[in-house]
Amino acid sequence: MSFVFDNTKPIAIGSDHAGLAYKAALINWLSEKGYQVKDFGTYTADSVDYPDYAHAVSTAVENKEVAYGILLCGSANGVSMTANKHANIRAGLCWQNDVALLVRQHNDANIICIPARFISLFVAQQMIETFMTTAFEGGRHATRVNKIACA
């Protein structure tokens, strides 16, 4: 095992309107656990464009201002596609705990994308905890991860 997140840095979080309620609950949950959370919005239930928030979180992760990112939207597809446009981002769309484990172990994901309309808050919390505490295995997976970026 190699890379583990630097949990001395804050966690970036962002969502569109569909993920707003979960985002607020997750910020409270993470804060209660002692983590600093940097909230990139949205802050109201008004309809918004998810790329605005996915780009902000991704930029913070790329610039190493935060340990990693959490993105939420209705399906998590939009935020995942947007985040993965950034060169140094590996955003994994997760819908169950086993997937959160594998995107860290095998893909060295640095952003977890959560489909707020399709999972419970409990499952979201479980996946984030797994994501935060699982190290990248490296080895054969590092070879594959190194082939992801376009040159």
How many domains does the chain fold into?
1
DSSP state of 9: S
| Whole-prediction pTM | 0.94
Q: Alpha-carbon distance 140 to 131, whole Å?
A: 20
Q: Where are the beta strands (DSSP E) in the chain?
A: 11-15, 37-39, 69-73, 91-93, 111-115
On whether residue 151 sits in a domain, the answer given is no
Q: What is the pLDDT of residues 42-56, one digit of tens each?
A: 999 999 999 999 999
**Residues 131/100, Cβ–Cβ less than 8 Å:** yes
**Residue positions annotated with a catalytic role:** 73, 106
Residue 2 is predicted with a pLDDT of: 43
pLDDT in tens, 117-145: 999 999 999 999 999 999 988 788 988 88
Which pLDDT score is estimated for 4?
Answer: 60
Residue 90 has pLDDT above 50, yes or no: yes
Identify whether 150 is part of a domain: no
For residue range 12-27, what is the model confidence (pLDDT) as tens digits?
999 999 999 999 999 9
For residue 123, give both structure tokens. 């499952």
- Number of Cβ atoms within 10 Å of the Cβ of 117: 12
User: Which residues, 6+ apart, have CB-to-CB distance to 95 below 8 Å?
Assistant: 76, 115, 118, 119
29 pLDDT above the threshold of 60 = yes
Strands 11-15 and 91-93 come out as unpaired
Residue 2 lies in a domain: no
Give the structural domain span for 75.
11-145
Predicted local confidence at residue 126, as pLDDT: 98
Structural domain contains residue 41: yes
Torsion angle of C-alpha atoms 23, 126, 90, 80, degrees rounded to 10: -50
Q: Check whether 73 has a pLDDT greater than 80.
A: yes
CA–CA gap between residue 105 and residue 140 (Å, rounded): 11
Q: Is residue 94 part of a domain?
A: yes
104 part of a folded domain: yes
Output the domain CATH number for residue 30: 3.40.1400.10
